[in-house]
């Protein structure tokens, strides 16, 4: 695996790859890798000749400084995992390399950034859009791979690739879960043993909602969800919404959309987790 730290070296290396007619797949990450990331790498390997991953903890997408400070880091383990997945190139930029000048970009997300995560994490998606756009401009991948767990992020990335006519195909990949159903996340490493047991509530609630969808009213479902979270110690619901999959508009009745997803965010102790489940499409 080639490891590069500068934009210049990375651009040059990938120019040489393309001269050989090879297709490039890309999996951007913030490190603290797990099986979810590796599943993206494997999918990229299946569909491309050359696979690039990046590790960069993007400071401008953290609206909470403590979250940035506490974000898990284990570069040696990450490198071993990328090697095990047969990654071809790892891009490891510094903050100065990614942001040599002040950030001035302005984005129009069409309101996608004003609900769900955007409502509780102001500025988060601007930071995501800036770093993803820059990474795409450096790597110039044919395809880029993202997990469905961060569903709202996926819609934002689709929008910027369309708005800026970036020649990259965005490939959504299934959420990878632990044996008990908890969505794999780098933040899971920060949970205590007791908190880890309680965190399963997010997926249990989503499974219940999937069963009830179309039968109980949306108001009844949301009331039931709120009641379940109130019963569980150390798990605090931040939001639960049933929304249209493409506009993220909250629904009041099932008949409002044929493409519906349930999204949840909750604090388990001091760790914030998100998850979702497609109800029907």
* Residue 151 domain flag: yes
Give yes or no: residues 18 and 97 share one domain. yes
Three-state DSSP class for 278? strand
Residue 179 lies in a domain: no
Q: Are 25 and 51 in contact (CB under 8 A)?
A: yes
User: 134, 151, 173 — which closes off a domain?
Assistant: 173
Report how far residue 14's alpha carbon sits from residue 24's, in angstroms, rounded to the nearest whole number.
Answer: 8
Give the CATH number for residue 35: 3.40.50.620
CATH number of the domain encompassing residue 248: 3.30.1300.10
Long-range contacts of 160-163 (CB under 8 A, 24+ apart): 160/107, 160/129, 160/132, 160/133, 161/136, 163/107, 163/108
Final residue before a domain boundary, out of 150, 173, 196:
173
The catalytic residue among 34, 37, 165, 224 is 37
**pLDDT for position 233:** 84
Residue 37 is a catalytic residue: yes
Question: From CA 19, how far away is CA 15, in angstroms rounded?
Answer: 6
Q: How many C-beta atoms lie closer than 10 Å to residue 211's C-beta?
A: 10
Residue 180 falls inside a structural domain = no
Residue 205 within any structural domain of the chain: yes
Query: Does any domain span residue 95?
Result: yes
- List residues bridging with 53 in a β-sheet: 27, 90
Do 53 and 119 lie in one domain? The reply is yes
The answer to the question of residue 245 being in a domain is yes
The predicted pLDDT at position 214 comes to 87
Give a yes or no: residue 281 inside a domain: no
User: Which residues span the domain enclosing 150?
Assistant: 2-173
Residues 21, 135, single domain; the answer is yes
168 with 192, same domain: the answer is no
Structural domain contains residue 57: yes
pTM, 2 dp: 0.97
User: For the chain, which ranges sit under pLDDT 70?
Assistant: none
pLDDT of residue 26: 99
Statement to judge: residues 148 and 194 lie in one domain:
no
**CA angle, residues 174, 278, 219, in degrees to nearest 5:** 150
pLDDT for position 239 = 98
Same domain, 157 and 94: yes
| The pLDDT of residue 261 | 98
Q: What is the pLDDT of residues 210-239, one digit of tens each?
A: 999 988 999 999 999 999 999 998 899 999
Indicate if 131 and 232 belong to the same structural domain.
Answer: no
Q: Express as a percent the part of the chain with pLDDT over 90.
A: 97
145 plus 7 within the same structural domain: yes
If one counts the domains in the chain, the total is 2
């Amino acid at each position: 695996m080639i490891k590069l730290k500068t934009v210049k070296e990375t651009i040059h290396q990938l120019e040489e790859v393309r001269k050989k007619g090879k297709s490039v797949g890309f999996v951007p990450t913030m490190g603290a890798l797990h099986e979810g990331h590796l599943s993206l790498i494997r999918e990229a390997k299946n569909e491309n000749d050359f696979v690039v991953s990046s590790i960069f903890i993007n400071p401008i997408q953290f609206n909470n400084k403590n979250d940035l400070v506490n974000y898990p880091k284990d570069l040696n383990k990450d490198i071993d995992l990328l090697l095990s997945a047969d990654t071809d190139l790892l891009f490891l930029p510094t903050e100065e390399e990614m942001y040599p000048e002040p950030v001035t970009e302005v984005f129009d997300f069409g309101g996608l950034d004003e609900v769900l995560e955007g409502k509780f994490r102001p500025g988060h998606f601007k930071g995501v859009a800036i770093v993803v756009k820059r990474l795409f401009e450096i790597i110039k991948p044919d395809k880029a791979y993202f997990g469905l767990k961060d569903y709202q992020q996926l819609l934002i990335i689709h929008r910027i690739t369309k708005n800026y006519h970036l020649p990259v195909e965005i490939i959504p990949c299934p959420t990878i879960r632990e044996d008990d159903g908890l969505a794999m996340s780098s933040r899971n490493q920060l949970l205590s043993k007791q908190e880890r047991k309680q965190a399963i509530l997010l997926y249990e609630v989503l499974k219940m909602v999937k069963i009830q969808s179309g039968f109980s009213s949306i108001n009844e479902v949301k009331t039931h969800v709120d009641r379940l979270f109130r019963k569980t110690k150390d798990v605090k619901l931040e939001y639960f919404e049933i929304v249209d999959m493409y506009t993220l508009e909250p629904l009041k009745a099932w008949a409002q959309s044929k493409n519906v997803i349930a999204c949840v965010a909750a604090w388990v102790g001091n760790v914030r987790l998100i998850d979702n489940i497609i109800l029907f499409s």
